[in-house]
Amino acid sequence: MFRYAAFALLLAFGCVMHLSRGTEVTVKDKDDKLCLYANLLVNFTVSYVTSGNKSELAEFELPAEVVSNGSQCDAASSTLKLNFGAGHSWSMNFSVSGNTYQADSITFAYNLSDATVFPKSASTDTLSVTVRPHITDVGMDTCYSCKSKETIQSDSVNQTLWNVLIQAFVSNGTHSENLTTCAADLPATPTASPTTVAPVTNTTATTLSPTTSPTPALPTPATGKFSVKPDNNGTACLLANFALRLRVKQGEKYQEMNLDPNVTRASGSCGVNSSELVLASNDMTVVLTFTNDTKKFRLQSVNVTAKLSSGVIFSEANSSLSLWEAAVGSSYMCNKEQNYTITSRLNIFTFNLQVQPFAVKKGLFSTAEDCQAESESFLVPVAVGVALLVLILIVLLAYFIGRKRNMASGYESF
């Protein structure tokens, strides 16, 4: 990937001498040794609503001066978190896969109460978006280098990265001398000249009608067991077992994709009122955000980024959901197949679902609230109501029949 002659001199200088300006950060491990290095430029374009109910765009960049509180490293996963301004943060999660590593997700949180960035904002909330960058197959003990610009779009935020130089897993406390260069920076591969074929005139021709093979139905996805551990070695604070299928709409075409738990990496975070599960595979990243009101929890946000068979990057999110609701301290279960419409372009299907994002004890699921029980609890009052209605009709019918007989008996005695 990086053995091109044109880059021989650049490779020789490596990460230390790579010319890049921007935000430079070094993260050290518990032994005070360098474990993560980053030097990059990021621009943000955020759409927000003002107090006059008008839509405005705020454009700003990641400043050179940031605080890296929340960044951490270990052998299998690393997090680069950059805090800046009045309550804004930008973080990138990395994970190891064999002899390579990749960036699983980028989470950008922005504080709308910051009047210097969002003047006259109608909201004072802190919002966040999670997307997946195109940083994959980075060789261990190498720096990922990409001078070209990459713009990652989401509902209301565009992020543009360039002059990126990152080494997520530093093994010996010093920068690597080797680079893994992004595809956009590599020289274009020569293409063969088009061949002109002389036209052939046929006296007779047979036209065959094109045949279209129906898209084969996907098998039921495999059920995965996912968990989030705050320190990667302790007890899980979030548990989730389920099989997942996506149905996405691109133009007028639909595509379905199964999440393969065998190649999916689980990460995330646990909080008092909000917890997050990030599932990243080679083809998709799914971010599930749960919230609670101290009594009940629910799935509030789904954010999906997927690479379609056409090569197009699909991204869709909804942060105003209210799914998988159960009491805090219990788990939510639904073994039957469920179909949820997330947006007009995204549906998710779940199978064998059980999830508990809060109050997990000893790494085990608590008593489950079953979606079947919800249906039954709805049917019970309906059944009771129908029975009462039938009983009332029987009583009324008996009354009218008896009254009619009494009237007939009165006429005869007269």
Q: Tell me the domain boundaries of the chain.
A: 6-185, 224-371
Beta bridge partner(s), residue 239: 227, 356
Would you say the CATH fold of 224-371 matches that of 6-185?
Answer: yes
Per-residue pLDDT tens over the stretch 142-175:
999 998 888 888 778 989 998 999 999 998 888 7
Class of domain 224-371: mainly beta
* pLDDT over 80 at 260, yes or no: yes
Cβ atoms of residues 254 and 242 within 8 Å: no
Cα-to-chain-centroid distance, residue 386? 44
3-state secondary structure of 386: helix
* pLDDT over 50 at 259, yes or no: yes
pLDDT at 9: 35
Please give the CATH topology (third level) of the domain spanning 6-185. Answer: Porin (2.40.160)
Nearest CA among 94, 34, 21 for reference residue 63: 21
H/E segment holding residue 83? strand 77-84
Per-residue pLDDT tens over the stretch 66-107:
999 999 988 889 999 999 999 999 999 999 988 899 999 999
Mean pLDDT of 29-47: 91
H/E segment holding residue 275? strand 274-280
